[in-house]
Amino acid sequence: MLRECQGLLCSCRGCGLSTKYGVLRRAAAWQINGACQTAEEGAGMRVCEIAVVGLGLIGSSAFHSLARRGADVLGFDPLVLGEARGSSHGSCRVYRRFNSESATYTELSDAAFKGWRMLEAASGRTILMPTRVLEAGPPGSKMVADSRASALKEAVSGLATGAEANAAFPAFQLPEEWDVVVQESGGILLAEAAIRAFR
């Protein structure tokens, strides 16, 4: 449970964190596993083992994971949830099981998928909506070729050209000669719902 703590959001029972430091004035802060402790020197300073700076999707996930493991963790973000300048603003993100960067991401994507499902069960919120992911680019597109290579051992649709994608997905009007790959095991991640569930 987060609470207002002199301009910061904190789950403690009154840590007295000072907002005289301009950098913290608009920060959101979380603290788990007991009340905040103040150092003997420099009243108003919070002593913790781990600080997470930035509480978008990645920072909130890291904070949540650390807190569940019992770490003494404090989180800061200069932006409020939903702020348009944040890297995690907006309603959704694409979840790709197969990434064009490297096939080694597939194992991480599978672990993330399980984690999103666990968070959904714990929070009662819908966070990840499974759907197909279409990636397309001009002929010879490295991104499409790399995504296809990452997915070779798994189920991907047989679509390979823009013309085939247009026939399968009438909402698209891709150039017919474009290269296409469709991942059957992608999804849409509801970003704000995920961040709220982490809190």
Strands of 81-167, DSSP E: 92-95, 128-137
155, 182: one domain:
yes
Average pLDDT, the chain: 75
Decide if 84 is inside a domain.
no
Q: Are both 187 and 146 inside the same structural domain?
A: yes
Asked whether residue 115 falls in the same domain as residue 68, the answer is no
- Structural domain span for residue 96: 92-198
- Residue 82, domain member (yes or no): no
| Residues 158 and 114 occupy one common structural domain | yes
Q: What is the pLDDT of residue 75?
A: 82
Answer yes or no: do 117 and 181 share one domain.
yes
Q: What is the pLDDT of residues 90-118, one digit of tens each?
A: 788 899 888 888 778 888 899 999 999 99
Model pLDDT for residues 115-154, shown as the tens digit of each residue: 999 999 999 999 999 999 899 999 999 988 888 888 776 6
Residue scoring higher pLDDT (168 or 79): 168
**8 Å CB contact between 115 and 68:** no
pLDDT for the residue numbered 131: 93
Are residues 146 and 181 located together in one domain of the fold? yes
Contact 181, 149 (CB under 8 A): no
DSSP state of 167: H
Specify the number of domains making up the chain.
Answer: 2
Let me know: does 68 contact 33? Beta carbons within 8 Å.
no
Does 56 share its domain with 113?
A: no
Q: Taking the model in full, what pTM does it have?
A: 0.69
Q: Are residues 27 and 73 in the same domain?
A: yes
Cα separation, 61 vs 64, whole angstroms? 5
Q: How confident is the model at residue 31 (pLDDT cuts 50, 70, 90)?
A: very low
Residue 17 lies in a domain: yes
- 132 within domain boundaries: yes
